[in-house]
Structure 1
Amino acid sequence: MPGGSWFEHVKKWEKDIEEKNAKSILPVYFEDLKSDLRENVETIAKFLDLLKNDELFDEITAKCNFKNMNAVKKEKVPEVVQNLSKDKSDYLYWKVTLKIGEVGGWKNWFTVAQNEEFDSIYRSEMKDSKLKFKYLL
């Protein structure tokens, strides 16, 4: 991986959070955002000690919707992001050709055998991790 091992990255974050009793970090999971974006916007605002503002939360929810983000992305893909991709595409939105922001999209890329291999590696690498994934909604 270009930035190193994802497993090591996540385990270091978990260790740092635990050792420092870090109350300044809010884990946010993609699947939770997909499940109920509006509720998660409120959770993030509360974490940041922001006053409840339904109009603002509605606006944030609308702008963070994958369809809306994709429309804006097509107009404004920063050159620095394009340069991170071999084909000059915006790798942050790699699902554009399939379904934008799809939970469970891994099934479009992994064969059953690859998925079993990944699960085995994940269990081995992350056996002491508290991180839990939702693979489907």
Structure 2
Amino acid sequence: MDSFSRPELFDFHGVSMIPSFTENWENIQNFQARPDDVLIASYPKAGSTWLCHIADLLYFRQTSPEREKSLQLHLRVPHLEASFVVPGTGPPPKRFNGTETVNNLKNSPRLIRTHLPIQFLPKSFLEQNCKIIYISRNAKDSVVSYFHYERMTILNPEPGDWSSYLQRFMDEKMVFGSWYDHVTGWWKKKQTHSQLHHMFYEDLIEDTGLEIDKLCHFLGLSPSVEEKERIMNQVHFEEMKTNKMVNHSSFRVMDVNISPFMRKGKVGDWKNHFTVAQNEEFDEVYKKKMKDPTLQFCTEL
């Protein structure tokens, strides 16, 4: 893994990005969504892997039970904008291409994930009136989770130490840009797009069953009590953490010896990282940057 150089952030139409998410840009923007596509969107490290797993089981566990055992989650719910050479493969080296992977999906509906801010969303998703699920997570736990993720993946820039990383988050110099702009942009879109269901990571932690019920209502699904129970058992954090089809442990671009991809799955872990001074400064910045008073997050349960 050491021979693979980490990318540098660069400004892309006003948003900090890396080549893995921009070099396939024309195909991303021209992507043709279908009316029954389901898009799962979030800022990185907000619980979208969890949500992808839940949605995949809701749609396909009964009709294609072999799917979850034979296919990695990233192939069942491809990341639309991802495009990168897989280190250590080849020659010729293998390449993961999100738009191509989605277009090759045989199942219906197609489940697709994205971390794109709302202004970068391919127009066809809105034109086709696709169902979109956006999950958001409080900023303090988001930055902690993102820090540990960037420590263990060579796909992203070098994170540096915790203190400089936190500063970078407050300065909005993160892959996929500003957390503040991302969550408020998608929240605002919810007001005008009826097919957008907004979820909070903290709610999903606090009452998984209730949130799955709301999700089923939005998606028009009605699993039996027994089926829902089986799915609930499979989507416990500890269950997913050991599930090799979900936990990304086989990804060559991630070093689970540094930090597991699925680390804690808790609300309030930020308290183990923020100093008192950092917390005070973060709160001040947060007040200035979070412009929408209707969007409220819970930072501890």
TM-score range, shorter chain: 0.7 to 0.9
Deviation at 1:42, TM superposition (A): 1.0
Kept after mapping to 1: 8 A contact 2:268/2:300: yes
Aligned-partner residue type, residue 17 of structure 1: K
The aligned counterpart of 2:198 is 27
Offset at residue 77 of structure 1 (A): 2.4
Q: 1:92 to 1:23 in 2, by over 3 A?
A: farther
In the alignment, what sits opposite 2:249?
77
Structure 2 regions of 5+ residues with no counterpart?
1-173
Computing the radius of gyration from Cα coordinates, the structure with the larger value is: 2
Aligned counterpart, 1:136: 300
The question of 1:54 aligning with 2:218 is answered: no
Higher helix share: 1
State the aligned residue count. 125
Please say if residues 184 and 295 of structure 2, whose CA atoms lie closer than 8 Å, have aligned partners that are also in contact.
Answer: no
Structure 1 alignment gaps of length 5 or more: none
**Aligned mates of 1:59, 1:131 — CA distance in 2:** 33
Structure 1 contact 11–129 (Cα < 8 Å) conserved: no
1:14 and 2:187 matched: yes
The 2-side partners of 1:78 and 1:120 are apart by 40
Question: For 1:53-132, what aligned pairs fall within 5 Å after superposition?
Answer: 53-73=224-244, 76-79=248-251, 83=253, 88-89=255-256, 92-93=261-262, 95=263, 100-132=264-296
Match of 1:5 in 2: 178
Q: Judge conservation of contact 2:190–2:198 (CA < 8 Å) in 1.
A: no
- TM-score for the superposition, normalised by structure 2: 0.38
- How big is each residue's C-alpha offset from its partner over 1:88-116, in whole Å with a ceiling of 9 and x where there is no partner? 236642x3xxxx21111110111111111
Once the two structures are TM-superposed, the CA of residue 69 in structure 1 deviates from its matched residue by: 0.6
